[in-house]
C-alpha cells in the first residue's frame, strides 16, 4: 500500500520521490525551508518512515545477541543505533533505537519495516518477546532542535557524529571538528492520527531540506549509501552503530577482521560539486578518476550555503587529492573530494603511523 502524508495537502507541497515518496519534498521554497530547518525554526515530515516495536522482558538482551550494538542495559529514553548484518558482515538493516522502559522502538526506512519485523519474528524462538510493525499507527517528525511542545513525546536523538562506547572513528577529522556537530537531529514519534494537529502552527520543511543537512553532516543513510555489499567500515558507522567489545553476533567475524587486520574495500567521501551547470547529477551516477570508474554518487543535494554537494562510495585506492568527475549520462560534473573514511582505515593492530595518525577510540 502506498503511503500518502496528510501534510501533502498543505499549500505548495510537492511530493518527494524514491525513498521519500509519500511526504513533501518541499513546500515551494526548498532553500528557505532548509535554512529554517538548520536554524531549528521548522520541522520536517518523515511520516513515511517505518516503525517496528519489540516488547517483552527479554527484548533488550535478545536484540543484543542479534545486533552489532550493546543494548542490554539501554536506559529508558537513551538513543542508540544498531545494525543487523549478514554472516559476511554486510548491512541488512540499520535501525534507530530508543526504549521507553516497556517497549523498544526501532525507527527504520520505509522499505525496511516489513522485512525487519518478519526477520525478527523468525528469530524469537522461545524468548519472551513480541514484534510488531506499527508503521501505520505512528508518524515520525524530524527537527534540529528539541521541540518544547513535544517534551512528553518519545524522541530518538541521533548519536552521530559522537563516538559511542565501544565505537571507533575512521575519519581523519577529530570528533570536536566533525561537520556532523552542526546538525543535531531529533526524530519524534507521534501517533499518526495526531500528526496534523501536532504540527499545527509550526513551519514545515520538506525532505529535500533534511537530506541536504544530512549530506553536509556526512551522515550515511540506509538505501542511499548502502548496497548489497556494504560493510559498516566503509561508511564510518563503527562510530555510532558497532560495539567492538561486545559478545558474538552474526557478522562479528568480518567486523573484527577488517577492523584489526584488513581495510574496507571502499570509502565514503563528501563531494563539493561544480555548480556552473545549474543542475544536479542524479544519485546513482558513476564517479570517475580520470578515465577510470571508481565509484558511485550515492546522495546529492543543493545546500543552502555550500551549493551542490554529495556523498559517494569510491574505491579505497583513489588518491584523496584527486579531482573526481561525476558522469550523469553525457553530462560531466567535476567534484572535489573531502575525505570521510581514511584510505588506510582498518588494520588497527600494531598501527603506529598512517593517514589516521594513530589509534582513534
Question: Which triple of cell numbers denotes residue 345?
Answer: 582505515
Dist. CA 259–CA 280, nearest whole Å? 35
Instruction: Say what percent of the chain tops pLDDT 70.
Output: 96
Question: Which triple of cell numbers denotes residue 287?
Answer: 564517479
In CATH, what number does 8-216 get? 3.30.1360.120
Share of the chain residues as helix, strand and coil, in percent rounded to the nearest 5: 25, 30, 45
* Predicted local confidence at residue 278, as pLDDT: 86
Which residue has 564510518 as its cell numbers? 236
Q: What is the DSSP letter of 128?
A: S
**Residue 358, pLDDT above cutoff 80:** no
Assign domain 265-340 to its CATH superfamily.
Aminomethyltransferase beta-barrel domains (2.40.30.110)
CATH 3.30.1360.120 domain residues, the chain: 8-216
Q: What is the pLDDT of residues 174-219, one digit of tens each?
A: 999 999 999 999 999 999 999 999 999 999 999 999 999 999 999 9
Question: Which residues in 249-330 belong to E strands, given as ranges?
Answer: 266-273, 286-289, 292-303, 307-315, 324-328
Calculate the CA 182 to chain-centre distance: 16
Dist. CA 109–CA 49, nearest whole Å? 5
Q: What is the DSSP letter of 323?
A: P
| Nearest alpha carbon to residue 157 among 234, 244, 98 | 98
352: number of Cβ within 10 Å? 7
pLDDT grade, residue 72 (50/70/90)?
very high
Contact indicator for 108, 47 with CB cutoff of 8 Å: no
Q: What is the pLDDT of residues 224-253, one digit of tens each?
A: 999 999 999 999 999 999 999 998 999 999
Dist. CA 159–CA 93, nearest whole Å? 17
* Predicted local confidence at residue 350, as pLDDT: 66
Contact indicator for 139, 47 with CB cutoff of 8 Å: yes
User: SS3 for 194?
Assistant: helix
The answer to whether 187 is a known ligand-binding residue is: yes
CATH 2.40.30.110 domain residues, the chain: 265-340
Instruction: Say what percent of the chain tops pLDDT 90.
Output: 93
Dist. CA 319–CA 297, nearest whole Å? 17
Dist. CA 109–CA 322, nearest whole Å? 33
∠ at Cα 153 (208, 112), nearest 5°?
50
Amino acid at each position: 500500500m502506498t503511503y500518502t502524508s496528510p501534510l501533502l495537502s498543505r499549500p505548495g507541497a510537492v511530493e518527494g520521490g524514491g525513498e521519500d515518496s509519500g511526504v513533501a519534498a518541499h513546500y515551494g521554497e526548498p532553500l528557505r525551508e532548509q535554512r529554517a530547518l538548520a536554524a531549528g525554526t521548522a520541522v520536517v515530515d518523515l511520516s513515511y518512515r517505518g516503525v517496528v516495536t519489540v516488547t517483552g522482558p527479554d527484548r533488550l538482551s535478545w536484540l543484543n545477541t542479534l545486533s552489532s550494538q550493546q543494548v542490554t542495559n539501554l536506559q529508558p529514553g537513551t538513543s542508540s543505533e544498531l545494525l543487523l548484518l549478514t554472516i559476511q558482515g554486510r548491512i541488512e538493516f540499520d535501525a534507530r533505537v530508543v526504549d521507553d522502559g516497556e517497549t523498544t522502538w526501532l525507527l527504520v526506512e520505509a522499505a525496511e519495516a516489513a522485512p525487519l519485523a518478519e526477520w525478527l519474528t523468525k528469530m524469537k524462538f522461545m524468548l519472551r518477546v513480541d514484534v510488531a510493525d506499527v508503521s501505520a499507527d505512528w508518524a515520525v517528525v524530524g527537527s534540529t532542535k528539541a521541540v518544547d511542545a513535544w517534551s512528553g513525546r518519545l524522541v530518538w536523538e541521533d548519536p552521530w557524529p559522537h563516538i559511542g562506547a565501544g565505537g571507533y572513528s575512521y575519519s581523519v577529522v577529530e570528533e570536536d571538528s566533525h561537520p556532523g556537530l552542526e546538525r543535531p537531529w531529533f526524530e519524534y514519534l507521534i501517533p499518526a492520527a495526531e500528526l496534523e494537529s501536532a504540527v499545527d502552527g509550526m513551519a514545515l520543511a520538506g525532505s529535500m531540506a533534511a537530506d541536504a543537512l544530512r549530506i553536509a553532516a556526512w551522515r550515511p543513510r540506509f538505501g542511499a549509501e548502502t548496497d548489497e555489499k556494504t560493510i559498516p567500515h566503509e561508511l564510518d558507522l563503527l562510530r555510532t552503530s558497532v560495539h567492538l567489545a561486545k559478545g558474538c553476533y552474526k557478522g562479528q567475524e568480518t567486523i573484527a577482521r577488517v577492523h584489526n587486520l584488513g581495510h574496507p574495500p571502499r570509502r565514503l567521501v563528501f563531494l563539493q560539486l561544480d555548480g556552473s551547470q545549474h543542475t544536479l547529477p542524479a544519485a546513482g551516477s558513476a564517479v570517475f578518476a580520470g578515465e577510470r570508474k571508481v565509484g558511485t554518487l550515492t546522495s546529492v543535494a543543493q545546500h543552502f550555503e555550500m551549493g551542490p554537494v554529495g556523498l559517494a562510495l569510491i574505491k579505497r585506492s583513489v588518491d584523496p587529492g584527486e579531482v573526481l568527475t561525476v558522469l550523469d549520462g553525457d553530462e560531466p560534473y567535476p567534484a572535489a573530494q573531502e575525505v570521510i573514511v581514511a584510505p588506510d582505515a582498518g588494520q588497527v593492530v600494531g598501527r603506529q603511523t598512517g593517514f589516521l595518525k594513530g589509534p582513534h577510540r
